Amino acid sequence: MYAISLGDDGAQLRPLEPWHAEEFLAHVDRGREFIGRYLPLPDIVTDVESSRAYLQSYAEKAAADTGRIHGIWTDDKLVGVVLIRKMDVGQGVAEVGCWLEPSAVGQGLVTRAARAIIDWAVEQRGVHRVEWQAATANESSIAVARRLGMTKDGVLRESFLYRGKRYDMEMWSVLAPQWRAAAS
């Protein structure tokens, strides 16, 4: 297995695989309410079996080159996730997402991890457009999109039904030439 350093604080980005099911479930449990404010993950990952199935779905996406999931570790503890929810290399489009448990908020971990995964998508897989979706109420996620140099493409009004409530979703994106220019 490989690990990508996320900086001098020892944080690492590592692939998440089905054999991490128990650790992944413990992570979701630590952040269940916090993560569940805007993401259905806590409703999907409820026990070891569903945790393993969720990670297996990403193992299958990785094998098909249509997605990836990586954990963010600090002090050898899984505290967050950055993922490529979907990727179409032929079209050159990928959607990146993330979450953290409360103990890891405010350290820049998601921004650093997202940079690493976007670099990989653009430079290794030739993705031209990287998308980021966030509920308009999710100010933290929108702040990450801004820090990543993304442009707000628009708002999908009441497009996401979650726990009986409809949410407006903001679509943000960065194009490969913009990403490379910002990196130079």
What is the residue extent of each domain of the chain? 4-183
Give the domain 4-183 fold: Aminopeptidase (3.40.630)
Per-residue pLDDT for 72 more than 70?
yes
Q: What is the C-alpha to C-alpha distance for residues 36 and 79, in angstroms, rounded to an integer?
A: 15
Residue 69: CB atoms within 10 A of its CB come to 23
Closest CA to 100 of 4, 5, 11: 11
pLDDT in tens, 98-132: 999 999 999 899 999 999 999 999 999 999 999 99
Whether pTM exceeds 0.85: yes
Within 13 A of 36's CA, how many CA atoms are on the CB side? 13
Q: What is the pLDDT of residue 1?
A: 65
Q: Residue 78 — very low, low, confident or very high, per pLDDT cuts 50/70/90?
A: very high
